[in-house]
Structure 1
Amino acid sequence: MHPSLLQDSVRGCPKEIPHNEKLLSLKYESLDYDNSENQLFLEEERRMSFLGFKCLEISRWVICGLIGFLTGLIACCIDIAVENLAGVKYYVVKQNIEKFTEVGGLSISLILWAVLNSAFVMVGAVIVAFFEPGAAGSGIPQIKCYLNGVKIPRRLMLHLNPHLLNTLVVKVCGVICSVAGGLAVGKEGPMIHSGAVVAAGVSQGRSTSLKKDFKIFEYFRRDTEKRDFVSAGAAAGVSAAFGAPVGGVLFSLEEGASFWNQMLTWRIFFASMISTFTLNFFLSIYNNKPGDLSSPGLINFGRFESDVSVCLLLSSPKPCVISLYVHRPCLQVMEAMLVAPLGPDQSEDYPLQLFCADGEYNSMATAFFNTPERSVRSLFHNPPGSYNPLTLSLFTLTYFFLACWTYGLTVSAGVFIPSLLIGAAWGRLFGILLAAITPNGSVWAVPGKYALMGAAAQLGGIVRMTLSLTVIMVEATGNVTYGLPIMLVLLTAKIVGDYFVEGLYDIHIKLQSVPFLHLEAPATSHWLTAREVMGAPVTCFNRIEKVGTIVDVLSNTSTNHNGFPVVMPVAASDNLGKICGLILRSQLIVLLKHKVFVELARSRLTQRKLQLKDFRDAYPRFPPIQSIHVSQDERECMMDLTEFMNPTPYTVPQETSLPRVFKLFRALGLRHLVVVDSENRVVGLVTRKDLARYHLGKHGLEEMQLAQT
């Protein structure tokens, strides 16, 4: 039986460790990030020439370039679609507002605004809820879990290729509808998920939906290779979102990849550069400025100059600060909810006069006629005096609650832009107040710079990123001068935030009961040993095992039970055997499917020898044991596991401390760790859930319960 299904009393865990009410779900499986170095693997390595290895390396670069190109192309399509849909909506509503403002009423205009927004959001919610639930949210927590070594069923869809295309299409269409519908969301987080999905699909070289199979990429059909490409896809998504290739690499390293390969760094950076260049290139063509590579990302904060005392052009209408000129109280509340800042460095296509004097426009209300990205940029760069502190305070609170509410909706949405917008709003408010209460504050307390720091602090406090977010902000603003203050702000936000509560992504992962392995084992856990945390007894196979026994074990154990030690019995009376290998459920399934039995091999001299290609062709959709037919005569046959098992699995003595087991398990990306006694006999097996269930709580070291949630 699976070790994780055993009760805590059977595990032999110390009774001093209290249980809390939180659970770890048994529905999550681990991924095989450790290569099985069996005889088939070694034979393939020996047969491969130097040219073959070079071709594989070139193929990795080609795949990373293709990932970057497709991710940038998707970002371009999203940006163009959002701008056009939002532009149509703004134009219709603006014409209606101008018509009814003359007679002193805005009810019909606001109803029209609500109807158009609801229509867009309804389309986005329907396609996500009914067609592909895996496209909901930003997808970043799921990517983080996948790169940590957890297979997420029906959520991330990086492991099940038939749903990859569906997830990508719904993700793209959903985020377009969400942003165009005016929700407090951004398209940057979903871009990271989209890049990861593109990488997972492209790297495998086949699609069930399109019924295509490109054999050129079949070597990469294993968890280890796919993990590396997904890391590149996530980085390409960040690069396309913010125009920050270096920040994308650091994001993948800091927030995503739990197991980092230094050789992978350049390939990920290459994918990030291709992504931002592709977005830049196609947007320049779309804007009728071919070759003008001035749009490196979906969001560009604009360059901060040393002197930011800039004013609006005289040729444009003068800004007036909003003072709630709408007469009816209900409309005042609705207007406050529709308030957002105005972009200064772009001509306003739809300036709203409302009840301002002729030649003036309402700078807060006009903001809703810009996308959230432009609203953030306007908070950074609008000159002092553009915003009334009372209105800005009301907007900050309103948008904060809207963002909290929106994050849980069944739509494709990201939290990056709402966080930046909220932080920029209260940061600018802080700058305004500081300038008002300090001597000569209007000279040195520039509100736009405080808006930048507030945006960084807000986003850093939510996602708890430090190094990567610092570089992203520096690349997006184009000014390295602000690198040090931004890093200090982010470090402060992380330290203070971690003292009270975990980051948003960590909370999301915990709510899903995912067995996530953090950087280090819980403190004060050195007194726990492998013997106390392992699962026992362990189901083992002999080197030469009866087919019927294998079929019965696979049929009667949970599908979560994926690793079986292969042992050599020491004595007939001894229930324990010496470890001589480890074989996976997926490998046994393939062997049964191809009927690799000893008796059949002897009778069929021309029988084709099984190769690694056969295992890769079945990856990742290995059939269930119930779908494999084994006759009664075949059940009496024997199966030799010597050639297919991993003869050198990682093992630890049963007295090894929990932190050492944790470090070995996480650093090597293991799925199973065999525990042996002094005579090298198998006494237990450590899996991800055995380690993830321990955490440091209010009462010291605590242990989570395991359940089928």
Structure 2
Amino acid sequence: MITMIHTGHMKLYQMFRGDETWMRPFAVWTFYGVVVSCASALCAHFIAPQAIGSGIPEMKTVLRGIILKEYLTVRTLISKMIALSLSIGSGLPVGKEGPFVHIASVVANQLSRFVHGSKGVFENESRAGEMLAAGCAVGVACTFSAPVGGVLFSIEVTAVYFAVRNYWRGFFAATCSATLFSVLQGIRRGKSQLADLLSMSVAAHYQTKFPLSDTFTSYELLFFAVMGLICGVAGALFVLLHRTVVLFLRRNKFVKIVLQKYWLIYPALISFLISSCTYPLGAGMYLGGEQAFSHTLHDFFVSCSWLENTNNSDSCGSAEKFGRANWAGPDNNVNIFHSLAAFQVAYFFLSIIASTLPVPAGIFMPVFVIGAAFGRTVGELLRLNYPNGVIEGMMTTRVHPGIYAVAGAAAFCGAVTHTVSVAVIVFELTGQLVLLIPVMIAVLVANAVCSYLQPSIYDSIIKIKHLPYLPDISHSSSMYHSLTAEQFMTCPAAYIAKDSTYGDLQDLIYGMSHVRAFPLVENKKSMSLVGSISRAHLFKLLQANVGVKARQAEATERIRRVIDEVSERYCAPGEAKGNGKIPMGQKRHTKRFIVESVRGSTKSLAQNPETTSVAPEKTSEKNLLAVPPYPHVPRVSEDEKRVRVS
């Protein structure tokens, strides 16, 4: 669907490209992008607003045990899939990895409900985490057909503590999804026959052709480390600017009014701005405007240099894949360094702005492409300054700009997301392990620098949205690691033991109104932790046992027993007993009894056996059952206070 939308955009633009004036092709180019972007925003807004955004920050919160309302429903799945296709097809610089993680998690949730009933295994919190963790791995694996990197990346961005038993499940699900993805790719390319599918070659998503020997020298590792340092600083700046822009949009009074009353204006203006910047006959000639945003990676990962005017198929691939034609302008008169610099600066800011739109939008792909452009620039500069290799006289080990593009993509993406597994994803994307050392050096340095300066982009979004999430301990200061629980814990701690009474529970609810959940221990001596119970669930249990309805049921039962006892005692021989009616002829011998409320419980009091009539006193419902001082909390009687809950 994404390809169809992009192809339709290009065909419509080509129809008007030959006009003498620039206005008609420009209007067609921008209008198409605005319409499709607004359609994506409308789809997300009216079907399911939970589909807006990446999805990884929310899944990180869900896997910590927080329930987000309507986040894993079929309605959200439909909205996410349709709106994501429209947002990417419109030409916005957004990715699909985060939304794919969300989509796969929704599918895992719905499959569980389909197989195991309406509630399924998600009633068990540990099983829910296992299912969603596998779903996250599938989402990443489907994006790039990278099962190993998908599992590792999903663990890094969504989980702090990962059960080893889930490795097999994650890898199994990711492998199946990557296999199906490859088969569907073959079908999309026209190989519908079974024989064609079986005989097709499975290549990497962005297959590279770097030489297997003499790829780089040990001296070049210094350049990779410096590139990682720059990517780390740039990644921290990216996270900071993103947070600044989002907070400005939320706190500025004028912007808030516009976004609340005329919310569709914002995506229309931003999509118009981005479409204007990528217009192929304008600024787009410096930004590879006619290409889809993610397709620029094919040009950046080309092994040979753009400075060489060659179409050697062994080093550069076919003439169609040779990157220089897309960056040197229509007349081949544009400096490639100007194009690369303009691409990095433009998309650095456009990606931040596009991520604030109310549409499904991932962060992974934009920062990955920006990093690849930066690495390509470094590689081309080194190739320009060292045409015969970094070490003079070693002609066999020349600088390959594509290697620096791969390392730059992994370094900048790893810095922004605070992940190392992106290096594994790169190896699976390119299909070559020859870049292991330089890529790992760049990723580790970039990750360390950015982690010291800023949180990851996903943690930053969690803070912006105020999601209930416990952050990791900061690595920037050792002071946090020396703190003990005794220094900030609340004393005395509220807890419930198995031998606690109803009176203990009442005291907890009255005295600890700010506590949302109580720990459950074995007994008051051992204090061994068994589990926890929420305040809401504890309230429901009290209501069921000593609440108004329970008291009414108990009062009714006591009254029935008293009437049956009186009826049985004073019935004439042969009359039916236990029917709850007092014989008329025996009224003069009936004891007078009164049913009244005593501390919230009912009692039958026998008085004056000589009384000649039965005249129960009229007692209102309020007098029958004691009304607790707080209607929302059941009041426990003195007798019930001594009853053990267990």
Q: Report the TM range for the smaller structure's normalisation.
A: 0.5 to 0.7
The answer for the alignment partner of 2:142 in structure 1 is 240
1:179-194 to structure 2, matched below 5 A, reads 179-194=88-103
Using the aligned pairs only, state the percent identity.
Answer: 27
Find the aligned partners of 1:236 and 1:556 in 2 and give their Cα distance: 47
User: What is the aligned partner in structure 2 of residue 92 from structure 1?
Assistant: 12
2:355–2:361: 8 Å Cα contact kept in structure 1? yes
Tell me how far 1:262 sits from its aligned partner: 1.6
Amino acid across the alignment from 1:516: L
Q: Which residue of 1 aligns with 2:2?
A: 82
Does residue 380 of structure 1 match 2:301? Answer: yes
Decide whether the 8 Å contact of 1:137 with 1:190 is kept in 2. Answer: yes
Q: Partners in 1 of 2:460 and 2:199 — Cα distance? A: 39
Structure 1 equivalent of residue 66 of structure 2 = 151
Change (3 A) 1:282 1:118: same
Q: Which is further off, 235-244 or 133-142? A: 133-142
2:161 is paired with a residue whose SS is coil
Q: What SS does the corresponding residue of 1:151 show, helix, strand or coil?
A: coil
User: What is the letter of the counterpart of residue 379 of structure 1?
Assistant: F
Which residue in the other structure is 2:208 paired with? Answer: 303
What CA deviation, in whole Å up to 9, does each residue of 1:642-671 have, x standing for no partner? 3xxxxxxxxxxxxxxxxxxxxxxxxxxxxx
Check the 8 A contact 1:428/1:448 in 2, yes or no. yes
Instruction: Give the 3-state SS of the residue equivalent to 1:518 in structure 2.
Output: coil
In 2: Cα distance, 1:177 partner to 1:558 partner? 48
Partner deviation per Cα, 1:445-490 (whole Å, 9 max, x = no partner): 3332222222112212211211x11111001110111122111110
Specify which of 472, 485, 493 is matched with residue 518 of structure 1. 472
Counterpart among 463, 472, 475 of residue 425 in structure 2: 472
**3-state DSSP class of the match of 1:413?**
coil
> Which stretch shifts more, 416-425 or 507-516?
507-516
Q: CA deviation at 1:527?
A: 5.8
- How far residue 517 of structure 1 moved from its aligned partner, in angstroms, is 4.0
Aligned to 1:170: 79
After the TM superposition, which residues 364-375 of structure 1 pair with which residues of structure 2 at under 5 Å, given as runs? 364=285, 367-375=288-296
| Distance in structure 1 (CA, Å) of the matches to 2:177 and 2:380 | 38
**Cα separation, 2, equivalents of 1:533 and 1:276:** 47
Aligned with 1:253 (options 122, 143, 155)? 155
Alignment partners' CA distance in 1, 2:529 and 2:363: 49
What are the within-5 Å matches in structure 2 for residues 25-64 of structure 1? none
> What's the CA shift for 1:282?
2.5
Give the number of the structure whose alpha-carbon radius of gyration is greater. Answer: 2
SS in 2 for 1:368: coil
| Partner residue of 1:536 out of 491, 503, 507 | 491
Contact 1:185 1:403 in 2 (8 A): yes
| Cα pair 2:403 2:435 within 8 Å, conserved | no
Shift of 1:430: 2.0
- Report the counterpart of residue 217 of structure 2 in structure 1: none
- Alpha carbons 2:502, 2:645 under 8 Å: kept: no
- 1:365-401 per-residue CA deviation (whole Å, 9 max, x = no partner) reads 7943332222212221285241322122112211111
Letter in 1 for 2:382: L
Give me the whole-angstrom Cα distance separating, in 1, the residues matched to 2:208 and 2:29.
Answer: 33
Question: Which of 424, 436, 444 is the aligned partner of 2:384?
Answer: 436
Aligned in 2, Cα 1:82/1:439: closer, same or farther, shift over 3 Å? closer
- Offset of 1:566 from its aligned partner? 5.5
What is aligned with 2:32?
116
User: 1:544 touches 1:638 (CA, 8 Å); kept in 2?
Assistant: no
Q: Summarize the Cα distance change of 1:90–1:578 in structure 2 as closer, same or farther, 3 Å threshold.
A: closer
CA distance in 1, matches of 2:89, 2:179: 25
Kindly tell me the number of residue pairs found equivalent between the two proteins. 471
Give the structure with the larger helix fraction.
Answer: 2
Aligned-pair distance for 1:269? 0.3
Q: How many angstroms does 1:194 deviate by? A: 1.6
Q: Cα deviations across residues 45-91 of structure 1 (Å, max 9, x unaligned)?
A: xxxxxxxxxxxxxxxxxxxxxxxxxxxxxxxxxxxx10111111111
Other structure's SS at 2:208 match: coil
Q: 1:388-418, CA deviations, whole angstroms, 9 ceiling, x for partnerless residues?
A: 2212211221111101111222211011111
Alpha-carbon separation, structure 2, partners of 1:552 and 1:106 = 77
Task: For residue 478 of structure 2, give the secondary structure of its aligned residue in structure 1.
Answer: coil
Report if the CA contact (8 A) 1:544-1:639 is conserved: no
Residue 374 of structure 2 is aligned with which of 426, 434, 443?
426
Pair 281,217 (structure 1): closer, same or farther in 2 beyond 3 Å? farther
Partner residue in 2 for 1:698: none
**Aligned partners of 2:294 and 2:462: how far apart in 1?**
27
Aligned residues of 2:495 and 2:521 also touching (Cα < 8 A): yes
**Offset of 1:628 from its aligned partner?**
9.4
Q: What is the match of residue 393 of structure 1?
A: 341
Instruction: Write the mapping of 1:554-633 to structure 2, written as runs, cut at 5 A.
Output: 561-565=516-520, 583-585=532-534, 588=538, 591-592=541-542, 595=545
Unaligned runs of 5+ in 1: 1-80, 207-212, 309-332, 340-351, 356-361, 571-576, 605-625, 643-709
Amino acid of the structure 2 residue aligned with 1:305: F
Q: Distance in 2 between matches of 1:634 and 1:120?
A: 68
Question: Displacement of 1:539 after TM fit?
Answer: 3.7
Q: Give the Cα–Cα distance (whole angstroms) in 2 for the partners of residues 366 and 641 of structure 1.
A: 70
- TM-align CA RMSD: 4.1
Q: For the residues of structure 2 that align with 1:526 and 1:391, how far apart are their CA atoms?
A: 47
Alpha carbons of 1:593 and 1:244: their partners in 2 closer, same or farther (altered >3 Å)?
farther
Q: Cα distance 1:422–1:292, how it changes in 2: closer, same or farther (>3 A)?
A: farther
Mapping 1:277-292, distance limit 5 Å? 277-290=179-192, 291=197
Supply the distance in 2 between the matched residues of 1:492 and 1:406 (Cα, whole angstroms). Answer: 28
Q: Deviation digits for residues 193-237 of structure 1, max 9, x if unmatched?
A: 22222223323x25xxxxxx8449835522111111111111111
Q: Which digits, 9 at most, give the CA deviation of each residue in 1:119-172, with x for residues without a partner?
A: 11112222334443322221112222333x251645xx55xxxx5222222221
Assess, with a 3 A threshold, how the Cα gap between structure 1 residues 541 and 486 changes in structure 2: closer, same or farther: closer
2:581 maps to: none
Q: Deviations over 1:491-519 (max 9, x none)?
A: 11112222332322232233344442426
Structure 1 residues 457 and 553: CA distance shift in structure 2, 3 A: same
Q: Which amino acid aligns with 1:395?
A: F
TM-score, structure 1 as length reference: 0.58
Aligned residue among 278, 291, 296 for 1:338: 278
Contact kept? 2:142, 2:177, Cα under 8 Å: yes
1:142 and 1:558 map into 2 onto residues whose CA distance is 28
Residues 1:496 and 1:292: Cα distance change in structure 2 (over 3 Å): farther
- Contact kept, 8 Å, 1:470 with 1:487, in 2: the verdict is yes
SS in 2 for 1:584: strand
Kindly provide the amino acid, as one letter, of the partner of residue 584 in structure 1: I
Contact 1:280/1:295 (8 A) holds in 2: no
Change (3 A) 1:590 1:108: same
**One-letter code aligned to 2:289:** F
Q: In the alignment, is the contact (CA less than 8 A) between 2:546 and 2:635 conserved in 1?
A: no
- The question of whether the paired residues in 1 share the 8 Å contact of 2:519 and 2:529 is answered with no
**Is residue 195–residue 237 contact of structure 1 (8 Å, CA) maintained in 2?**
yes
Distance (Å, rounded) in 2 between the aligned partners of 1:569 and 1:262: 34
Higher strand share: 1
